[in-house]
Amino acid sequence: MSSFTQFIACKGTLTNVSVPRVMGIVNVTPDSFYAQSRVSKAKELLRKVEEMLRRGADFIDVGGYSSRPGAADVSPDEEMRRVIPAIESIHRNFPEAKISVDTFRARVADTAVQAGACMINDISGGHADPEMLDVVAKHQVPYIVMHMRGNPRTMQKLTGYSLDIVTEVNRFFAASIQRLHRKNINDIIIDPGFGFAKTLEQNYMMLKHLNRFLLHRKPVLVGMSRKSMLYKLLQTDQNEALNATTAVHILALLKGASVLRVHDVKEAKEAIRIVSYMDGITKNRL
């Protein structure tokens, strides 16, 4: 649980992210690594979002560009064709939903915010598109800055670091936050980028030392849901990775995670409830 109070402004309201939150994943792609997260038809999309909101999702993250290792490139026009109608539909049918757009392209992000998104989730941390930070600054929406090297096609060849992984990623965040502050961007969430240019061992080293990312005094988002760091270790697959996902979510919460980005909202909310209850008992008895 986070040791400091932090709010972000989204949809005209302040959300306290020192209380752990859940971000539900909605992939409007044909090739996302976890098939159950993909939606294509309008009614299917709305059913999925309605279920996530009913189960307690605080944010809905909509992406149209698969970032799984080795994923094929998608043109900006195709990404727009996938993402914008989906955001418009969610915004129209669930006007109170806090929608995040998962994109590294400034044009997609700009159009998505105009369509109803109130947060930008950028896997490139602002490095893929030089205009991205100007879009964030213009709209003054919360910005998720993630650590990654290369792109989805090359990242798993870029896992060599001169320092230990936690120090390397912390240096990246220190520089990124300074860069964002110079643009007058202050609602910042940091994401260590589990699975992005990280080996199996590096992923677990980041999880073990997740509390070290709190030094930046920014909310920490973790995206480990059903990822290969879980099912490869356990020699299963994505469909069998829910139990492992809940296990690492508990560990992340105990290390100070503020936002869980997940495929399975109900189970993530239950993990938060358990850790929050335990944390409350501990504080009351001290």
CA 63 to chain centre: 11
Of 227, 255, 266, 285, which is the active-site residue? 227
Q: Are 91 and 116 in contact (CB under 8 A)?
A: yes
DSSP class per residue in the chain? --SS--EEEETTEEEETTS-EEEEEEE-SS--SSGGGB--SHHHHHHHHHHHHHTT-SEEEEE-S--STTPPP--HHHHHHHHHHHHHHHHHH-TT--EEEE-S-HHHHHHHHHHT--EEEETTTT-S-TTHHHHHHHHT--EEEE---S-TTTGGG----SS-HHHHHHHHHHHHHHHHHHTT---EEEE--TTSS--HHHHHHHHHTGGGGGGG-S-BEE--TT-HHHHTTTT--GGG-HHHHHHHHHHHHHTT--EEEES-HHHHHHHHHHHHHHHHHHHHH-
Of 261, 266, 269, 273, which is the active-site residue? 261
CA–CA separation, 10 vs 92, rounded Å? 17
- Is 261 noted as a catalytic residue in this protein? yes
Q: Which residues are catalytic?
A: 227, 261
